[in-house]
């Protein structure tokens, strides 16, 4: 499919739903692809399909973004019992949750990227090989260098995993000196 994260030459985003422009969808897909291509877990990351991108309140203090991905649980994502492996769920939460922060950052002119500071996951119920999962990520907070997002992995109407992911944007250095002092 054209909206899989392994970016084809001509990007077709016509099947991606949401309230953002086609250019914003292309940008979201390219940025996400950059973070999952040729890195740890890329054999799973490339199968994540971006299906929806939304941004609300771009110009206000309560701006937020949501990204939705889908993936079919394959055997290589499962533990010995045929359930989605917890480590694989955590891997998917990482780039998917950050995608909502990057989308919001792009919409508001802020660098929404960062490095993980903490990730808290709660496993509610298992997903099995063959299940189609929906990963819904919502930005919670971007201010200064601190970012946080909420992420949920759904199997139909069943919540499988919920998570909160906090990231921090490293200080920018100019001539070896911090440009920000004592601010988070």
How far apart CA 31 and CA 150 sit, in angstroms, is: 19
- For the entire predicted model, the pTM comes to 0.87
Q: How many domains does the chain have?
A: 1
pLDDT of residue 184: 43
Residue 3 lies in a domain: no
How far apart CA 84 and CA 159 sit, in angstroms, is: 13
Show the low-confidence residues of the chain (pLDDT under 70).
1-10, 171-184
Query: For the domain that residue 44 is a member of, what is the CATH number?
Result: 3.10.129.10
Residue 126 lies in a domain: yes
pLDDT of residue 62: 86
pLDDT of residue 181: 47
């Amino acid at each position: 499919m054209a909206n899989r994260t392994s970016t084809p030459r001509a990007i077709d985003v016509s099947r991606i739903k949401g309230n953002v422009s086609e250019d914003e969808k292309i940008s979201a897909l390219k940025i996400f692809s950059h973070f999952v291509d040729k890195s740890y877990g890329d054999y799973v990351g490339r199968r994540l399909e971006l299906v929806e991108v939304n941004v609300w309140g771009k110009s206000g203090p309560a701006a937020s973004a949501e990204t939705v991905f889908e993936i079919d649980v394959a055997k290589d994502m499962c533990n010995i019992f045929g359930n989605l492996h917890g480590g694989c769920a955590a891997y998917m939460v990482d780039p998917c949750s950050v995608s909502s922060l990057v989308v919001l950052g792009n919409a508001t002119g802020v660098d929404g990227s960062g490095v993980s500071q903490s990730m808290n996951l709660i496993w509610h119920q298992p997903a099995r090989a063959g299940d189609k999962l929906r990963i819904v990520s919502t930005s919670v907070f971007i201010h200064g260098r601190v970012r946080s997002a909420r992420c949920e992995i759904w199997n139909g109407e069943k919540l499988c995993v919920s998570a909160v992911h906090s990231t921090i944007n490293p200080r920018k250095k100019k001539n070896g000196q911090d440009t920000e002092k004592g601010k988070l």
